[in-house]
Structure 1
Amino acid sequence: MLRLVVLISGGGSNLRALLDASQDAEFPARVVAVGADRQADGLAHAEHYGIPSFVVPFTSFDSREAWGDELLAQLREWQPDVVVLSGLMRLLPAQVVAEYAPAIINTHPAYLPEFPGAHGVRDALAAGVTETGASVIVVDDGVDSGPILHQRRVPVEPGDTEATLHERIKPVERELLIQTVLDLANGTIDLKEYRA
């Protein structure tokens, strides 16, 4: 059984999808804890399913490194096989990446390497493209620059706003995340191949 710790910053819709999927006894992964960098709404999903959670508030620390040290201490408590970034809106500090990579995956609302960064949906609209997408990647020290595990195109429709386009991308992100977790659990994807 693959042990997952999921890190969030917001509403946790991808987290909810993973928790829903893991209710199936046949699903080969379990979320053992949920962490956040603030009092995120998505922590309610963990509470609903009886999953332990922790908060390491970024603003409580003098530096990103100090925050990273505490985040690392929390992660070690749960001994995850894979750390899932699911809407965590902060770059992981180097010491966290060094300890867990390549067993850190992230969802992103664009067809990487197109439109990396915090505003992938907005950037796609600003560029006037006719399609964007969703990706699941291995986290490295860059910004959305790690190896791509799964991705799928999503069309941009006339009149799309950032909100409407993002709402169409989210279900694709969720499907890709669940497929990636399944592939990791059954060995179709071997993260050891991505060691630096």
Structure 2
Amino acid sequence: MREKRSRQRYADDQEGTGVEWKPATRLGFLVQSGQITTIEEALSSKYPVKEYQIIDALLPDLSEEVLDINLVQRMTDSGRRVKFRVCAIVGNRDGYMGIGLGKDALVRNGIVKAVRAAKLGITHITRGCGSWECDCGETHSIPFKIEGKAGSVVITLKPAPKGIGLVTGDVPKRVLEFAGVKDVWGRTEGQTRTTFNQAFATYDALRKTSLMKTVE
């Protein structure tokens, strides 16, 4: 009973507005009413996640971080319009993470939009011990070689033995840490100076771990 009550009184966002969440989707109603109680059930249901409050309710230990903030400009009939483009990452460091992009004239609003977009894009990352040099059987690495792409950036991730660490660039390393991956060999090609593309390429690669079934 207490769990259901806490879901019903969940605040609108982490800024503490105190506004009660009123679900606008079927999945949101199922979560608030307590019929769906885990993130696994939500992601495997036939309903898409369209409300970030669903993730807030099912993953209360979620961490978030801003990866990049860029100033973008666009010419219109009324003159030059300036906005901030924010790339943010969220994750519980235990197999669930997401990346989002937000644009706004104010940095703070851009961060809020990016974090909410990242929550809506959260996905399960399958971890394992796929290196032939290691047979510990723990979920410290990835189960097999994966490749991701975003823009001109292509990243290849390979399973590494326990204790190697994350042998890759700073941006992919942050994404892997939020996913809970501890040991990986990584190689990046393309315009690697673009933080946004590096992050999304890593995310694209990690998503593929859940698309292929592995033998237990």
TM beyond 0.5: no
Question: 1 or 2 for the larger relative contact order (CA 8 Å, sep ≥6)?
Answer: 1
TM, length-normalised to structure 1: 0.25
Whichever structure has more strand as a proportion of its residues is: 2
TM, length-normalised to structure 2: 0.24
Whichever structure has more helix as a proportion of its residues is: 1
